[in-house]
Every structure is written in structure tokens, then in C-alpha cells.
Amino acid sequence: MNINTKGTYVIEEDHYEKSKSKWCLSINYSYYFNTGTYEQPPEEDMEIESVELNGMDITDFFWEFVEDKVYQQVIEYAREQ
């Protein structure tokens, strides 16, 4: 069985108590999964295509500073979808 899908993982935070602000991080990804066969092991791949913070593209910043902390959350979300 093959799964090949695209999606968006969203993290929203409200900080109204302190600074009355809200931010939204949107991560667009493509996800591939193949269950494999007797001869072939299962395959899984995920690619983060773009990242936006409140509508502003921060993809390069994400890859340089944030990717390690969020990647696992995104792939777990993709698996559930």
C-alpha cells in the first residue's frame, strides 16, 4: 500500500495574558509511505516544503534554527492523517 499526500501542520499560540498577541506557524509538507513487501522493507519519507509564521515565509530560518525541534512533531502528525 502506498500513501502519498501533502498537508499542513499548524501550531497556534495565544499570549493574550502578557502581550495580547497571537502567532500561527504553518508547515507545508509532503509525506510518502510504502508498506513494503516480503522482499522490500517499508519506506517512509517526509519533505517540509515551506514554513510560514503569521503569513510570512520563514522557510530558510526554519531549516537553520528550528527544524530539529519540530520535525518529529510534523512527521507524527503526517502519519496520523
Return the domain boundaries, the chain: 2-80
What is d(CA 22, CA 70) in angstroms, rounded to the nearest whole number?
19
Residue 38 CA to residue 13 CA, distance in Å, equals 45
Q: What pLDDT is stored for residue 18 in this prediction?
A: 59
List the beta bridge partners of residue 27: 9, 51
Cβ neighbours of residue 21 closer than 8 Å, sequence gap 6 or more:
15
- Cell digits for 26? 504553518
Q: pLDDT value at position 14?
A: 74
The HSE-up count of residue 38 (CA atoms within 13 Å, CB side) is 0
The whole-number pLDDT of residue 20 equals 66
Q: What is the pTM of this model?
A: 0.76
Grid cell digits, residue 68? 530539529
Residue 55 pLDDT grade (very low, low, confident, very high; cuts 50, 70, 90): very high
